Every structure is written in structure tokens, then in C-alpha cells.
Amino acid sequence: MTLKHDEAAKVFLHLIAIPMDKEALKLLRKGKTLTLQTDTQQSFESPFALERGLVVIVPSHTKEERLRFSIKGKDETLVGIGKLSLLGKPRDLSKERGLLIYRNPSSLPLIKQDEVKVGKVVIEELSMEKNGKLKPEEVQEDLLVENTSLKYVRALKPWTFQQTLTSAVIAALISPNIDVPLLLLIMVTLLLAHSAFNMMNDYFDSLSSLDKPESMGSMGSRVLVDKLIDARTHKIYMAGVSLTGLLLAAYILSIRPYVVPYFALGLLCGGLYSVPRYGLRWVGLGDLAIFLAWGPGIFLGTYVSMGGRPDLAVDSVAVSMGLLVTAIAHINNWRDMRDELDAGVRSVASLLGDTLSPYYYLILIYSPYPLFGLAVALNHSLFPLLGSYLTIPWAIRLTKVVFRQDDPRRNRLDLETAKFTALHMYFTAALLLLFKIAAMLEPSVLLQTSLCHAFENPESIL
């Protein structure tokens, strides 16, 4: 296809076009990037979103013109021609910026660049290319609308839940008894509390202008800064999540009153974390708050609720859990250090600076290994914890990245750290569960029974 079509060709394509099929819609709704090609044969990749057309990111020097675009699938390619209109800088366009990041969060680094603009491609012609054949598609603008129904899920920041869940599961697995119904209730309550604090952080960060379109990190939900949810609706939603979590917590405390200190610790750390100007995060105590919430708070609170009594071995595991989650917070604070300093936030990262922050990071990700070893030395039944040592290669890889300023992976070190800590906990939880199940099967009893049967019936061996 070329940009110069005669009228007869246009009429022919229009006549044979059929309503957009499922494959075309799937590519438009599920695709992350497309290729744009101008009339001068200049070609570039761009993330895209749907808004009665294609919202794209283009270099600032790009002109308003008709251009080609293509979206590649597994076995097919959607190709078309449309008119590009330039809308402005990403920081000035909350709706379009929000749609782009909502659809493809990894596009944030590109959107933050000064030398790009947001554009909109109004589709004029559309075809599906498959097996060397080109099938025209009817352009249906009413279908080219982004589905943002998951924005209320995004507001909870569910990608941060894994550390909370695995910390509670590990605590239950090393406890004397596992009350499954109670554990499930605790996990739901923890997720509601975590969600409420996530929403509170976003609200306060937006209120204090700490979150900005061009500087906000990848761990934020962006529902407020990109105006996917208005502030009033967000507050009502936050209040509903918080109230539900408090009601469930009240019930748990009524049947397990000795968990009150751990609940109070978590509530204090979460509730005071991001209050503007005076919150723990603002005065250099953010890392301590996160450590206490995920270590003594969530981990020991769950362990005690299952009937456990903390000792030095269990405390060592709790400290490890707290350090792993703190590593994620630190790498985010280090990345956003200058923006936070401008806003008046003092974090451990800003106190240590670029020189010492990498070493603090190494302490956070490597300390859990000897602490797990200490726990096993004190309590041999905890030996499945040593399964976490399988993650050492990932820790070494992070060590290399953190000291290389020119390493492209350093821009997403927060995501890599979150994956590492999750993997660390997954290995630990999986091996604990495996040996817990093995212990329940009581293999020694089964073996003894088999041997007795063999001695009583020697012919059964033959």
C-alpha cells in the first residue's frame, strides 16, 4: 500500500471491506506497540492507546501528515493509513498520557523525555495481512476506545501484594499449627490494609505535588496524576477499602487479642508513612517504617496468630522479610531522590547519596542469607529456608547492575528488585510447603509399616 491512492482504488477497498473481525480487534486492544512510517520512509516504534483513533508518541520533529502504521501479531499484521495530528507534550495531556501508561506501563520512561510529543492517528484505511494475503477491514471508530475498567484495580497497586502474601504464608508455614480459615482471613485483611495504605500514599503524594507526570516512578498507580479517577471518587473508594479492612481486623483481634501489638505497629507505620511534611517518609524514617511493618508487623503478627511464640530463630526470619521489602523501597527512593529532595522529602537514600546508596542496597539484599542460616542453626526444622540460597545468582546480577551507571537495566532496577525479592520468598515458601506436606505424610510410619509387613510375610518380598 502507498499513500497515493487513486479514487477508484479507494472506492474498491471501501466496497469490499467487511466489519472488523476478532483478530483485528484483538491486535488493536491487546497490542502494546506499533510501527509508524512517514511519507519520507522514516520509521519508528511507538506505544499506542485507543481513543477513537490511535494515541501515539512521536519525535518532536515529526510533522502532521498521512502515514502508514502496522501492528504485528503472532501470525498476522494489521496495517493501515491514517492522518497524524500532534496534540502536545505528554506532561500537558493527562488523558492521553494516562491511556498510554494504563495500556503499557513500560512506556513511562519514553513519555518522560522532553524530545517527544503525543499524537493521534485518525485511521482512514485498515487491512489484515496474513499468509501473504491482504484483507480490508472496516474502520469502526466506536470500537477504538480504551477499556479502563481496571483502573480501580490499578488504584490498589496489586503488583505490590506479593511480598505481603508470601510473608504471611512463610510465617504460617513455620508456625506450630496452620489454621487455614484464619490464615485466609488474615491474608484478605492484610491485602485490604495494604491497598488502603497504597491509596493513601498516592493521595498524599498527589496532594503535596510529590507525584508529577514527568517524574513519578513505576511503582505508582498514576490514577490520580493521570486523572483516570477523580480525587473525590478516589477518597470514597479509599475510605471503603479502609473501613472493610478495619472491620475484618477487629474480628481477628477479638478472637486473637494477643495480636494487638503487631496490628498496632502495622497501623502506625502505614498510617503515618506519607502524611505530608510530618509523615515518617518525609523525615527519614520511611525505610524503618517499611521494615517494621513487613517484619515484626506482618510476619510476626501472622506467626503469633497461628499459635507460635517468637524466639531468636523466628525473629531472624522476620528481620529478613523486613529487609527484603525495604530493598524495594530504597531503590525507588534512590531513583526519585532528587525529585523528593526538591519536594522536601528526606529518605535514607537522600541521606546516603549516590555514593553510599549502592552499599546500603547490597546490605538489604544480602543480609537475609546469613540470617536464614542463623535461623536454621538455631532451629534445624527450619532447614527448608536454605532454599532461598538458590536466588544468590539473581542477587549477584543485581550487584553488577547497581554499580554500573551505563547499564540500561538500572532504569528498571526497582522492578528487577521486586522480582528478586518475590523470587526469594517464593523459593522459601515452596520448599517450606513441600516439607510441610512431606511431614504430614509421616514417611517414617509408612516405612515402619511396610517393613513389619515384609517380615511377617517374607513371600511378599519375592
Whether 249 shows a pLDDT value over 90: the answer reads yes
What is the residue whose three cell numbers read 507505620?
A: 269
Length of the chain: 462
Pairwise CA distance, residues 412 & 357, whole Å: 16
Q: What is the tens place of the pLDDT at every residue in 3-23? A: 444 444 444 444 444 456 677
Cell digits for 242?
479502609
Q: In the numeric block, which cell numbers belong to residue 33?
A: 506497540
Nearest to 184 by CA among 296, 297, 277, 305: 305
Phi then psi for residue 230, to 5 deg, are: -75, 160
For residue 136, count CB atoms less than 10 angstroms from its CB and return exposed for 0-12, middle for 13-18, buried for 19 or more: middle
Rounded Cα distance between 384 and 311, Å, is 18
Q: What pLDDT was estimated at residue 427?
A: 83
> SS in 3 state form for 240-302?
HHHHHHHHHHHHHHHHCHHHHHHHHHHHHHHHCCCCCCCCCCCECCHHHHHHHHHHHHHHHHH
pLDDT in tens, 88-102: 988 888 888 888 888
The residue type found at 359 is: Y
pLDDT given at position 376: 94
Is 90 within 8 Å of 152 (Cβ atoms)?
no
* Residue 2, pLDDT score: 46
Specify the amino acid at residue 447: L
For 237, the grid coordinates are 473508594
What gap in Å lies between CA 22 and CA 135, rounded to an integer? 13
Fold for the domain defined by 7-148: Pnp Oxidase; Chain A (2.30.110)
Q: Is 119:67 a contact under the CB 8 Å cutoff?
A: no
Q: Which three cell numbers stand for residue 18?
A: 467487511
- Is a pLDDT exceeding 50 seen at residue 218? no
User: What are residue 58's phi and psi, to 5 degrees?
Assistant: -130, 155
Q: Which residues make Cβ contacts (< 8 Å) with residue 76, sequence separation at least 6?
A: 23, 27, 128, 129, 130
Instruction: Tell which residue, 70, 120, 124, has the closest CA to residue 95.
Output: 120
115-137 residue pLDDT tens: 899 999 999 888 888 887 888 88
**Where are any strands of DSSP class E within 89-230?**
116-130, 133-137
Q: What does the alpha-carbon distance between residue 333 and residue 418 come to, in Å, rounded to a whole number? A: 14
- The pLDDT value given to residue 12: 45
For residues 176-190, average pLDDT:
94
In percent, how much of the chain has pLDDT > 90? 37
Can you say how many angstroms the Cα of residue 179 is from the centroid of all Cα atoms in its chain? 29
pLDDT digits (tens, 9 = 90+) for 376-402: 999 998 988 888 898 999 999 888 888
From 395, 436, 358, select the one nearest 178 (Cα to Cα).
436
pLDDT in the model for residue 39: 76
Grid cell of 203 as nine digits: 493521595
**What CA–CA distance (Å, rounded) separates 173 from 11?**
69
Which amino acid, one-letter code, is at 154? Answer: R
Chain centroid to CA 227 = 20
Question: What are the distances in angstroms from CA 222 to CA 118, 201, 290?
Answer: 18, 11, 21
